[in-house]
Amino acid sequence: MNPMKFQPVLDEIVATLRPQIAQCGQGEHHGKVASYIPALARVDARQFGIALRTCEGEEAGAGDFETPFSIQSVSKLFTLTLAMQRMGDALWERIGREPSGNPFNSLVQLENEQGKPRNPFINAGAIAVADRLVSQAKASGPGADGGNGGNGAKDDILALMASLCGEPIAFDDEVAQSEADTGFRNVALANFMKSFGKIDNDVATVLDTYFHQCALRMSCRQLARAAAFLCRDGAHPIDGQPDVTGERQTRRINALMLTCGTYDAAGDVAFSIGLPCKSGVGGGIVAVVPDTLTLCVWSPALDATGNSLLGMKALELFVARTGLSVF
């Protein structure tokens, strides 16, 4: 498909879903926002955006695609990328690569596996990745711990996102504080891993990194652009920049997205959509069509698995209309 013809597809998807968008959050069958994070509970569920970026750099968007939102677990895709850049295969000594089949914040599975998270996209795995980033920031030399409240890992995350987008990206401090105030299960996960010797740094510092990465505030357009290295064999989304990841690492990230990127619904998503995806409870989903494009959709109302209800429907419509799939 000619990249210039994607815009009508996105416009059609928004038009098709508009009646359902108006009903989001209005009842049991219309999804609900992530109310367990107070700052997200106030988000208007009746918003919807979709955007894409092709390998050639063409961009298209429809609906509320320029509206920034809390990307939440979509951030795990980028912190994983940063950790793989810096550690390579050594990262996997403490983190697995298998689907969990359990809720993303499960303590039971972590105990059964002696503190080693099943994959980097569940909460325990992302906290373990954050720990690695804190260690790397400390080891990078004088000044690594400067700025951002003494946590150099947060500076590194912001620098990566700004580089990928070509424009400044910021944390939503209200969301980060809201997560810190109510993230008791994440505190338990981090301390549990610490008890098994799987966390090296101060738990409070690691969680500060994790809560802030989840509080990154970005639009669909920015996320589609930032993730575009995944459809370009790791090449930087902006011309003239060095590669973000190598081809081998890029394939591995896409594979993890397909098998683990949508909580415990990954099998259904692979069956119904057939694209590597990473979702977040802020309602965002990033999807990759290798060698073609990256796509981001946002609708805050979630289904029972914690994935965007209309976001998933939009991806199904996109695949049906374009025929783009990895299968």
Query: For the structural domain made of 3-67+219-322, what CATH number should be given?
Result: 3.40.710.10
Same CATH topology for 3-67+219-322 and 73-217? yes
- What pLDDT is recorded for position 141? 60
- What pLDDT is recorded for position 148? 46
Q: Do 169 and 218 form a contact (C-beta atoms < 8 A)?
A: yes
- What pLDDT is recorded for position 239? 75
User: What are 325's two structure tokens?
Assistant: 């799939």
- What pLDDT is recorded for position 296? 98
- CATH fold of 73-217: Beta-lactamase (3.40.710)
Mean pLDDT by 10 residues, the chain (327 residues): 78 98 87 91 96 96 98 98 95 92 77 91 96 94 47 95 96 96 95 96 97 98 98 90 92 97 93 97 97 98 95 98 96
Question: For the chain, what are the domain ranges?
Answer: 3-67+219-322, 73-217
- What pLDDT is recorded for position 263? 87
- What pLDDT is recorded for position 261? 96
